[in-house]
Structure 1
């Protein structure tokens, strides 16, 4: 049974990483499509928005998988997973909106709230992950 769980853990992490890689590609494609209709106006926020899912998602989960390969079966991992994914999604959406506004030649004072909330989601998620790791280590001692 333990071998089955180990295999499922690796498959789950691989699926998460691939989803984030695909989301990065979607962000790149969205930027290129928006460039076509942007009348030659470009936005760094939209150009680089693919980094949120690539670094904050795929690379982050790859590192977690290397450091704690079977953590996703632990109690509390789902809370981290949901908070972290919400943070990455919020930051990516904020970058997309900022890019749209820059290309349109306008701005919004509400964008900073997206960045703050996205960062808070990620910080709370990482704190949750640390608690899960600490609790896992206490159980194994």
Structure 2
């Protein structure tokens, strides 16, 4: 097994983990819905979309368009920043859903969305810059 096989397998593992996270988010919403006395929250209902679209779908598309992306120097930094953004958005949506179901709100939940979006944006911009540098120096094809 070569290092490139391990890296491709790592991308598949990331997609698999994000699909599992989406399923867990759906199950959490369903279980929480049972005990919420018929009250629901849009934030909690749709929180599964962050790991599904932002995570699994994003990495599938990236794997198709840029299959050698994980060979770029600094890829792990992008990976960690971007994944932290997805996690922050998911947790923020969950917390916002709990507060909505409880019949209250907090002015601080907006910070989850801001921080999550910022982490994703910084990770994506850093990766785009590294990708352009890698292509211009012929590090990857």
Unmatched runs of 5 consecutive residues or more in structure 2: none
Indicate the residue corresponding to 1:127 in structure 2: 125
**Please, which moves more after superposition, 70-79 or 107-116?**
70-79
Mapped partners of 1:59, 1:136: distance in 2: 24
What number of residue pairs does the alignment pair up? 139
Indicate the residue corresponding to 2:91 in structure 1: 93
Unmatched runs of 5 consecutive residues or more in structure 1: none
Indicate the residue corresponding to 2:12 in structure 1: 14
Indicate the residue corresponding to 1:51 in structure 2: 49
Matched position secondary structure for 1:65: helix
How far has the Cα of 1:9 moved from its partner?
2.4
Mapped partners of 2:81, 2:111: distance in 1: 17
The superposition leaves residues 52-93 of structure 1 with CA deviations (integer Å, 9 ceiling, x where unpaired) of: 000000000111111111111221101100110010000001
How far has the Cα of 1:24 moved from its partner?
0.2
Question: Normalized per residue, which structure has more helix?
Answer: 1
Residue pair 1:13, 1:61 contacting (<8 A) in 2 also? yes
Indicate the residue corresponding to 1:35 in structure 2: 33
The superposition leaves residues 78-113 of structure 1 with CA deviations (integer Å, 9 ceiling, x where unpaired) of: 110011001000000110011000100000000111
Residue pair 1:91, 1:115 contacting (<8 A) in 2 also? yes
With the length of structure 1 as denominator, give the TM-score of the two structures. 0.94
With the length of structure 2 as denominator, give the TM-score of the two structures. 0.94
Mapped partners of 1:134, 1:116: distance in 2: 27
Counterpart selection for 1:112 from 107, 110, 113: 110
Indicate the residue corresponding to 2:75 in structure 1: 77
Mapped partners of 1:55, 1:7: distance in 2: 25
Mapped partners of 1:64, 1:8: distance in 2: 17
